[in-house]
Chains A and B, each alone.
Chain A
Amino acid sequence: MAKLSKADVTHVARLAKLDLTDTEINKFLPQLSQILEHVGELGKVDTTDLTPTSQTAGLTNVLREDEVKPSSIDQNGALSGTNKTHNGYFKVDAILTERSDK
């Protein structure tokens, strides 16, 4: 197993959309390394011919009729978690920036 570097922590934090300070990175690096080293023990287990388990319910494709039920949450309910709304929509930050070369 590869040893964790500071660049790995920064990369992973970026993928997970976490803004970490330098102090945090220096704190998390040894902790995460230690945990990864422990779980790295799994590398020793022979898993030839084993299929991975992703859940234990033993069910596949549980479907229902696509119908609106009276207990559904209405628009006001759905928007009740934020005060940043506009015309019944959630307000979000822009994800695109204007091109600067035009």
Chain B
Amino acid sequence: MKIPLTIKETQDGLIKKEFSAVQLVDAYLERIKKYNEEYNIFLTTSDEIAYSKAKKFNDLDQYTEEFFKENPLAGVVVGYKDIFLTKGIRTTAGSKVLESYIPPYSATSVSRIENAGAIPIGKLNCDAWAHGSSGENSDFGPTKNPWNKEYVPGGSSSGSGAALAANMSLITTGTDTCGSIRLPANYCFSVAIKPTYGAVSRYGVIAMASSLDTVGPIGRTVEDVETVFNVIKGEDGYDGTVVNSKFEIRNSKLRVGIPKEFFTEGIDPEVEKTITLGIEVLKKEGIEFKEVALPSTKYAIDVYYVIQPAEVSSNLGRFDGIRYGNGRDSFGDEAKRRIMLGTYVLSAGYYDAYYLKAMKVRSKIISEVDKVFDEVDALIAPVAPTPPFKLGDKVSDPLTMYLTDVYAATANLCGIPSLALPSGFSKQGLPLGFQLMGSRFSEPALFELGKLYHKAIDYVPKVAF
């Protein structure tokens, strides 16, 4: 069977009885079996759970429009980044520390997605503890980009991007502490939302840097990502940072800012060109653009590489090999580097110079960004300076790898949402795209802009093979 590429196609197919939920699971598992060894996208598949869930939804007569209103993700096959706890299914965080850990409960986002009718197909490879931009820091080997297997799929949610490009799942989940949802989406021709800090509960998601971590969906259309976002958002009583926002669109006529600091030297000409074209497209659709200044955002990645390791060193302190997992000697190089960096910037004599300083510069960046959002509703920017790079290119040089996320850090430091959109392909056939950042809880405005852009360019979802 031909696997449908969107939630709408999937549910229309079920209503028209073109296929059953069990046949869908068959089709996805067949592809995973065929291609996973080559691309290393799934770490675990949950065949039994997927079939038992699919069988529940296998009575084709139940599929009415009304049914899908109550179960918006019915028949939707989902893969979770392996940092989301899934009750009874191994959860590794991409690390040997947790290579045989089976959680006793599920993350809120996992429960909500499944209560909405989704069928869980398995757990996706990622950089260990979500530390990385290429997927190469996974203790279970790197994931390859389905668009060209010599290239990285982007990290840290490497499997979450690659599973969509390889047509192994309809939607996936990811976490974004500094681009880890947006970069794999960008490098795998997918759509993703890094939500507002406080929009989606992180309960049951293994913590990396708690003042920056966000949880969000990746899919192939803005509509699909919006549907999943609406399922997972809101208070659960288990994450004290989450509030039930009204998510209102502030202005009927949307204005977008072009922050010149995000288009400086080092940006690949093809990445810059696709954004220039995107601006032209949106201008024709009546969106107003203006240049804005965010001078302190050039320090965002430095602020991030102080605050994040500091929080990492604290969060990874709980892995002592007593209550779960293996001991601390099982940490890989990148986790060790970040734990040491974080311990150093928090240690006596260096706290003020590094950690306190970074927290103050963070305030400066936030106040500049807040002020700009008085003038515009969104900001357009690259996700990363270049299209996907080759496996092995940055792996021995941590600093160069860190700078991949130079344009991602601002959204996390400010706690604002950002929508990553695919725009086309480079001359080499690698995915291109950009991000649209908005003010806190402005996700609906970003979705509107994304839909407008994709409609104007006649965007169609694509898979690599």
Closest residue to A44 on the B side, CB-wise? B299
* Other-chain residue from B211, B240, B299, B363 in contact with A41 (beta carbon distance below 8 A): B299
Contact across chains for B344 and A20 when beta carbons are under 8 A apart: no
Instruction: Count A-B pairs with CB separation below 8 Å.
Output: 148
| A contact residues vs B (CB 8 Å cutoff) | 1-2, 4, 8-9, 11-13, 15-20, 24, 27-28, 31-32, 34-36, 38-39, 41-43, 45, 47, 50-59, 62, 64, 73, 77-78, 80-82, 84, 90, 92
Complex interface: chain B residues within 8 A of A12 (CB): 340, 343-344, 347
Closest residue to A41 on the B side, CB-wise? B302
- B76 CB–A CB distance under 8 Å: no
Binds A, one of B177-185, B187-195, B352-360: B352-360
Question: Which residues 20-62 of B have a CB within 8 angstroms of A?
Answer: none
Binds A, one of B97-105, B127-135, B148-156, B220-228: B97-105
- What does DSSP make chain A's interface, helix, strand, loop or mixed? loop
Contact across chains for B324 and A81 when beta carbons are under 8 A apart: yes
Contact across chains for A53 and B366 when beta carbons are under 8 A apart: yes
* Other-chain residue from A2, A19, A20, A32 in contact with B341 (beta carbon distance below 8 A): A32
In the complex with contacts A17-B328, A35-B305, A54-B359, A80-B102 CB distance below 8 A = yes
Contact across chains for A64 and B302 when beta carbons are under 8 A apart: no
In the complex with contacts A20-B336, A35-B402, A52-B241 CB distance below 8 A = no
* Other-chain residue from B105, B306, B331 in contact with A42 (beta carbon distance below 8 A): B306
Contact across chains for B363 and A35 when beta carbons are under 8 A apart: no
In the complex with contacts A12-B343, A12-B347, A57-B198 CB distance below 8 A = yes
- B303 CB–A CB distance under 8 Å: yes
What is the minimal beta-carbon distance from B233 to any residue of chain A, in angstroms?
14
Contact across chains for A50 and B306 when beta carbons are under 8 A apart: no
Closest residue to A56 on the B side, CB-wise? B415
C-alpha gap A18/B434 in the complex (Å): 39
* Other-chain residue from A15, A47, A77, A84 in contact with B347 (beta carbon distance below 8 A): A15
- B158 CB–A CB distance under 8 Å: no
Contact across chains for B398 and A31 when beta carbons are under 8 A apart: yes
Complex interface: chain B residues within 8 A of A51 (CB): 360, 363
Complex interface: chain A residues within 8 A of B229 (CB): none
C-alpha gap A73/B198 in the complex (Å): 25
Complex interface: chain A residues within 8 A of B299 (CB): 41-42, 45
Q: Known contacts A42-B306, A59-B198; can you find 9 more A-B pairs with CB under 8 A?
A: A2-B350, A19-B329, A35-B402, A42-B354, A42-B357, A47-B361, A47-B363, A55-B197, A62-B240
Of the A-B pairs whose beta carbons lie under 8 Å apart in the complex, a sample of 9, sorted by A's number, is A1-B353, A16-B339, A24-B336, A39-B306, A47-B357, A52-B363, A57-B198, A64-B237, A73-B104
Complex interface: chain A residues within 8 A of B105 (CB): 73, 77
Complex interface: chain A residues within 8 A of B237 (CB): 64
Contact across chains for B343 and A50 when beta carbons are under 8 A apart: no
* Other-chain residue from B322, B344, B402 in contact with A32 (beta carbon distance below 8 A): B344
In the complex with contacts A59-B241, A90-B322, A92-B322, A53-B341 CB distance below 8 A = no
Contact across chains for A42 and B361 when beta carbons are under 8 A apart: yes
Contact across chains for B360 and A50 when beta carbons are under 8 A apart: yes
C-alpha gap A12/B328 in the complex (Å): 15
Complex interface: chain B residues within 8 A of A58 (CB): 198
- Write out, one digit per residue, whether chain B residues 266-300 have a CB within 8 A of any chain A CB (1) or not (0): 00000000000000000000000000000010010
- B364 CB–A CB distance under 8 Å: yes
- B1 CB–A CB distance under 8 Å: no
Closest residue to B344 on the A side, CB-wise? A12
Closest residue to B367 on the A side, CB-wise? A50
Question: Which residues 197-253 of B have a CB within 8 angstroms of A?
Answer: 197-198, 210-211, 237, 240-241, 243
C-alpha gap A43/B354 in the complex (Å): 8
In the complex with contacts A18-B339, A62-B240, A56-B366 CB distance below 8 A = yes
What is the minimal beta-carbon distance from B401 to any residue of chain A, in angstroms?
11
Contact across chains for B104 and A80 when beta carbons are under 8 A apart: yes
What is the minimal beta-carbon distance from A72 to any residue of chain B, in angstroms?
10
- B172 CB–A CB distance under 8 Å: no
Complex interface: chain B residues within 8 A of A35 (CB): 305, 337, 341, 398-399, 402
- B325 CB–A CB distance under 8 Å: yes
Complex interface: chain B residues within 8 A of A31 (CB): 337, 398-399
C-alpha gap A24/B362 in the complex (Å): 32
C-alpha gap A78/B104 in the complex (Å): 7
Closest residue to B402 on the A side, CB-wise? A35
- B414 CB–A CB distance under 8 Å: yes
Complex interface: chain A residues within 8 A of B440 (CB): 56
C-alpha gap A91/B354 in the complex (Å): 38
What is the minimal beta-carbon distance from A88 to any residue of chain B, in angstroms?
13
- B313 CB–A CB distance under 8 Å: yes
